[in-house]
Each structure stands twice: as C-alpha cells, then as structure tokens.
Amino acid sequence: MSTRHHVRDQRERDPDADRGEARREQGVIGQITRIHHDKRYGYLDAGGTEYFFNADDFLRPGAFDEVLAGEKVTFEPRDRSPMGSRHWYRMDQRATRIDLA
C-alpha cells in the first residue's frame, strides 16, 4: 500500500487524527488586523470575529514589538474583558496567550 493510500485510509477512519503536524499549545489561529505599537494594543481576526489584545498577552517577551499587521498568530480566546465598562477599548472578545504562528 502506498503512503498516499495509507494516509487517505487513516483520514477516512479518523478524520481528527494527528497528521504529524507540529503541536500547538493554542487552538485558534488568527491574523493581526490592526496594531498600535505606541499604545501597546491591537486587534486580530479569527473566523470573522475580532479580538482585542495588548502587549502583555504575548507568550514571548518582545514578540509584541516585532509583530506586524497581516501576520498569523495562535491564541486562546477569552470572553468578556475583566475591565470595567468605563474603558473605551472594552470588547467582548479578548485574545490571550498569543504566539507567532
């Protein structure tokens, strides 16, 4: 049996099986849409949902300063910002534990 047929058979038996891809700690992949380096926050999009993040949400120190709009990242979504409603940037969706994809 060729490798291609073996992989196809595996996918038919278990569509969610590991395909040898690198494991990611985060389950969601998104794309940076806007970033404000001077103000230390930005926004990303994943599946049509916009998420707010700030510099402290990156896993690797210094990554925020390197990331640009259009780059892909992995992250963990979190509902409801813990910030009060008095903050103009409060959003329902927040991205945490961000890493470059």
Distance between CA 76 and CA 74 in Å, rounded?
7
Provide, rounded to the nearest whole percent, the portion of the chain with pLDDT above 90: 54
* Tens-place pLDDT, residues 33-74: 999 999 999 999 999 999 999 999 999 999 999 999 999 999
Residue 25: closest CA among 67, 62, 73: 73
Q: Please report the pLDDT score of residue 57 as a whole number.
A: 95
pTM for this structure?
Answer: 0.65
Which carries the bigger pLDDT value, residue 82 or residue 31? Answer: 31
Residue 42: closest CA among 29, 55, 30: 55
Residue 27: closest CA among 46, 42, 44, 43: 46
Phi, psi of 47 (to 5 degrees): 60, 30
Which sequence spans correspond to the domains of the chain?
25-100
Q: Please report the pLDDT score of residue 48 as a whole number.
A: 93
Q: Please report the pLDDT score of residue 79 as a whole number.
A: 73
- Architecture (CATH level 2) of domain 25-100: Beta Barrel (2.40)
